[in-house]
Each structure stands twice: as structure tokens, then as C-alpha cells.
Amino acid sequence: MRKLRVGFDVDEVLYPWVETFRHHLHTTQGWTVDRMPDPTRYAFGPEWGIAEEREFLDHAVAAARSGLLHSYGAPIAGASEVTRRLVDAGHTVHIVTARRYDDSYGVNDVLMSSTRRWLDQHGIAFTTLDFETDKTAVPTDVYIDDRPENVDAICAAGAVGVLMDASHNQDPACVRRRVTSLAAYAQIVDEVATA
């Protein structure tokens, strides 16, 4: 079996970001849950009545600044078990998250510590943790993300890109390799390692 560099996105792969963002807006803005349905596309602000990108960003930064990202939200099923099993099998696990905003917000230090703390708290095993919007910046052999464009970039870089199924990536034109669970992703890793 080959030892692989196995990559993971954080939000909507390991962490329930949309659920957390909904909780943040409910508690800070008083928005009803009915106003915030499961998104049908990645840039879902307008679906929740947030017309401006800037307003969406301001809310997202406020959620990050509040510390919610290390105190709220249970891991996606299998996050701890799957990452631990991969490391135990001799692979390395590389977490690459785009959790980074323009420096002018002054929130990136909080985000980095929140992310690391939440991963540690929930026993999620990893070898490296990087904050990059370009998911190919950290070399991996196989990588999972919920954003179709990121999966395309991984495939274009020569790795195996896998799409984590989500309500916001159901476009029927999307033909990327898709899984509905982290356990299914681990099976793909096993296939690649033994191919």
C-alpha cells in the first residue's frame, strides 16, 4: 500500500459552517430559521436575504470574531475516526482551509487559533494545517472539498479530487466524483493507496 498525502477542507467537510452561521445570525440578528434554508448554491447570501457580498462578509467575520467557530458545532460524522485511521495507516493528513479574510478585518489570528482549537478538541488528527484559498498550495495525492471549483483545481494539479456532497453543490451538471460521507472518502483513499 502506498503512503499518501490525504487532504481535507474544513468547512462543510469536517465542520458544519452553514449551521454555525445560521446560529450566529439567529442569535445576533434575530433572524428566523425559516429565513435561512439549506443553501442551494455556494454563494448563498441572496437566498438568506443578504444581497450584498460585503454584508455577507461582515456577518461571517463577526461569527469568526465571536469565537463561535471553536465553541459551536459538532464535527461532521466520522471526522475524528477517519482522520485517525488514516494516520494510523501511515498516511499523512493535510488540512487546508480558506478560513482567512482580508487583513483589514484583523480577525485572522482568532480564526487560526479557533480552527486549531476546535480540531484538537474533537480529536481530529492532522499532520499539517494551512490557511489557503488555493487548495493546491499544499501538495496532496487525494483531497476532499465541498466547493466544485476547488475540486477541479485539485484534479487539474494531478491529484484525485473528491466532492463532499452538500445542498449547495447539487447542480446536475456537476459530474465530479462525489461522496456523501467521510467514511466513503476513506474508501476512495484506500482504493488510491492500493491501486
Q: From the list 4, 8, 11, 75, which residue makes contact with Mg ion (rule: CB under 5 A)?
A: 11
Q: Which residue has the cell 465542520?
A: 15
**E runs forming strands in the chain:** 5-8, 92-97, 128-131, 142-145, 160-164, 178-179
Interaction with Mg ion in 122-161: which residues (CB under 5 A)? 146
Closest contact distance (angstroms) between CB of 166 and Mg ion is 8
**CA separation for the pair 193, 140 (Å, rounded):** 13
For Mg ion, what does the binding mask look like between residues 156 and 195, x meaning CB under 5 A? ----------------------------------------
Which of 139, 172, 8, 133 is closest to 76 using CA atoms? 8
Catalytic residue status for 11: yes
Give the end-to-end CA distance of the chain in Å, rounded to a whole number. 8
- The binder of Mg ion chosen from 9, 94, 99, 126 (CB under 5 A): 9
Query: Which residues ranging from 12 to 31 are in contact with Mg ion (CB under 5 A)?
Result: 12
Which candidate in 9, 141, 145, 146 is catalytic? 9
28-60 in b/e burial notation, b at 16+ Cβ within 10 A? eeebeeeebeebeeeebbeebebeeeeebeebb
Whose Cβ is closer to Mg ion: residue 7's or residue 193's? 7
Number of residues that bind Mg ion (CB under 5 A): 4
CA atoms within 13 A on the CB side of 28: 16
Cβ of residue 14: shortest distance to Mg ion, in angstroms?
Answer: 9
Does residue 145 carry a catalytic annotation?
Answer: no
Known catalytic residues?
9, 11
Contact positions vs Mg ion (CB under 5 A) = 9, 11-12, 146
